[in-house]
Amino acid sequence: MSSVHDVTYDLLRRQAALPLSNHTFVEPSAHVMAVATTAPWFEYLDIAGAVLTERLLPVDGTVTARGPGLGLDWDEHAVARYAFS
C-alpha cells in the first residue's frame, strides 16, 4: 500500500510535467515562461499594450522579459482615456 506521501509526490511529479502555456498579459508571462521547462511556445496577445508607456514587442519572434518586476509601467493618460464608470 502506498503512503500518502508517495501518492502526493507522484501527483506533483505528474503535474510538474504538464505543458504550460500563457494566454494574457505578455509582460508577466515573459518572466514565467522563460523559466518553465514545459513551455514549448509563447502566445503573444497584447492585452495591456494600449495603456502601457512601452509595449513589450517580439523581436525576431522572441519576447524578452524586462528587468525585475512585472514590466508594467502604466500610461496614466491612456488609462484615463479608456476608463469607464
Per-residue pLDDT of the chain (85 residues; tens, 9 = 90+): 567 667 676 777 677 778 888 888 888 889 888 888 888 888 998 889 999 999 999 999 889 988 888 878 999 999 999 988 7
Q: Which residues pair with 74 in a beta bridge?
A: 52
What is the model's pLDDT at position 2? 62
pTM metric for this prediction: 0.67
* Element housing 31 (H / E): helix 26-35
Q: Please report how many Cα atoms fall inside a 13 Å half-sphere around the Cα of residue 22, on the Cβ side.
A: 23
What is the model's pLDDT at position 19? 85
